[in-house]
Amino acid sequence: MYFWFKITISKYLRFKRIVMNKIRLTFICYSLVFQTYSQVNEVHKSQVNKQLQRVEVMGEKKSDNFNSKVSDFSIKLIKVKGGEFVMGDNNPRPLTPYFSDRPKHKVKLNDFYLADTEVTQAMWKSIMNKNPSPFKGDNLPVCHVSWNITQEFISKLNQRSGKNYRLPTEAEWEYAAGGGIQNCSKFSGTNLDSELANYAWIFENSEAKPHAVGTKMPNALGLYDMTGNVWEWCSDYLGAYPSTPQLNPKGPSSSTRRVNRGGGWMSRIKGSNITLRNGFAPDSSNSIFGFRLAMDAE
More confident residue, 41 or 112: 112
CB-CB contact of 223 with 175 (8 Å): no
For 8, other C-beta atoms within 10 Å of its C-beta total: 10
Order of strands, edge to edge, in the sheet holding 289-290? Answer: 277-280, 258-261, 231-237, 289-290
Residue 44 pLDDT class (50, 70, 90 cuts): very low
More confident residue, 17 or 137: 137
Helix, strand, coil percent values for the chain (each to nearest 5): 35, 20, 50
Order of strands, edge to edge, in the sheet holding 112-115? Answer: 66-70, 73-80, 112-115, 294-296
User: The whole model's pTM is what?
Assistant: 0.79
Is residue 62's pLDDT more than 60? no
Tens of pLDDT, residues 192-219: 999 999 999 999 999 999 999 999 999 9
